[in-house]
Amino acid sequence: MAHIVKFVVPKGTIEEATLKILEEAWQKISGRARTYRIKLSDPEIEVKLLRPQEIPTYVQEGLYDVGITGRDWIREANADVKILLDLEYGKVKQVIAIPESFQFNNLDEMIIDHVRREKPLRISAEYLTTTANYIKSKIAYQKYFGNSNPMIITPWLRVGENKNVQIFLSFGATEAKPPEDVDAICDITETGTTLAQNNLKIIDTIMESTSVLIANKNSLKDNKKREKIADMIALLRGVVEARKKLHIFVNVRKENLDQLLSTLPALKRPTVSNLSEEGWYGVNTIIDKNEFIKIVPIMRKLAQGLVVSEPRQILPLEDINIDKEEE
């Protein structure tokens, strides 16, 4: 009987990037764009799409064995999960931003100013826990408010005793809230363009986030699930690594072979084979994409018939030690 691994992946902004990496890893996925459930070519993996905000908690509680979400949402949920692999997409910064017309250089200056003017500091955020913890870490906050908690305000509850610093739950379009509704926002940004378009500037960076593969810690204690999860890590890591590499094949004369090999970076060692024409060799290797431009002038002088392709996966196939994967 198959041992099913329950896998939850994000719906929303990183959905397409996630489906793409799954397709590259498992060769075929079906059901996309029609449902919250998709199928991989592996029948032992059951996949569902949910909002990335929910995924860390659901994996922690064992509703799913593995999931993909952002580091930012793991931190927001304070989720006790195992981070297995950085998937290196969905790269964003979590920042504090204020109207460009404000003269503050950082959040500490803003806190001091509002205390002196006896005016509550209001912040809009989807990340309530992260925002509150970051504000509490500021020297100015500790000086004036000690260990008290900022007041978190949502439509259904208010928590935190410090009315002088208020965090309002945002349901999206956070960048539209200042300056009429709030003084600052905590939001994520890729390039800062959307913030600038809304006349906002970044004054603090809380963290950098990427999409990661996570697992329920109890699921990793189940030997059968652990083996399947190790296979999942290998396949996804194969895609992550392949995206950073190029596969090149080039022909070279015998008298130029040693010089070419001495200058050619390789993942391991290049494969060298005899060609049908006497005195010619074929060199086959994997290189980093950022090395390619550097070696083109060398190959142009020493070799012929360069063929370049992007590998779909690079699988080292050594044992995956989950215990030593990323914390």
Residue 36 has what pLDDT? 85
Tokens in use for 218? 């109890």
Side chain identity at residue 271, one-letter code: T
**What are the pLDDT digits (tens) for 99-117?**
999 999 999 999 999 999 9
DSSP annotation of 295 reads H
Q: What is the pLDDT of residue 296?
A: 86
The pTM (predicted TM-score) of the whole model is 0.88
State the pLDDT at residue 217: 96
Residue 222 confidence (pLDDT) above 90: yes
Q: Does the pLDDT at position 327 exceed 60?
A: no
Span 44-63, average pLDDT: 96
Look at residue 143 in the predicted model and tell me its pLDDT: 97
| 170-191: pLDDT as tens digits | 998 999 999 999 999 999 999 8
The per-residue pLDDT of the chain, averaged, comes to 91
Say if residues 166 and 151 touch (Cβ distance below 8 Å).
Answer: yes
> What per-residue confidence (pLDDT) applies to 319?
62
CA distance 125 to 152: 10
pLDDT tens column, 153-171? 999 999 999 999 999 999 9
Q: Is the pLDDT of residue 33 over 70?
A: no
Q: 1 pLDDT band (50/70/90 cuts)?
A: very low
Instruction: Provide the phi-psi class of 126: left if phi over 0, else alpha when psi is between -120 and 50, else beta.
Output: alpha
The full set of domains in the chain, from first to last, is 5-90+210-242 (3.40.190.10), 93-209 (3.40.190.10), 245-309 (3.30.70.120)
What's the pLDDT score for residue 317?
65
User: In which element (H, E) is residue 254 found?
Assistant: helix 254-263
**Cβ atoms within 10 Å of 290's Cβ, excluding its own:** 10
Token pair recorded at residue 107: 């959040």
Cβ burial of 251 (10 Å; 0-12, 13-18, 19+) is: middle
The predicted pLDDT at position 119 comes to 97
Q: Which pLDDT score is estimated for 34? A: 65
For the segment 229-249, what is each residue's pLDDT rounded down to a tens digit? 999 999 999 999 999 999 989
**The predicted structure's pLDDT at residue 299:** 84
Q: Following DSSP, what letter does each residue of 19-51 receive, concatenated?
A: HHHHHHHHS-EE-TTT-SEEEES-TTEEEEEE-
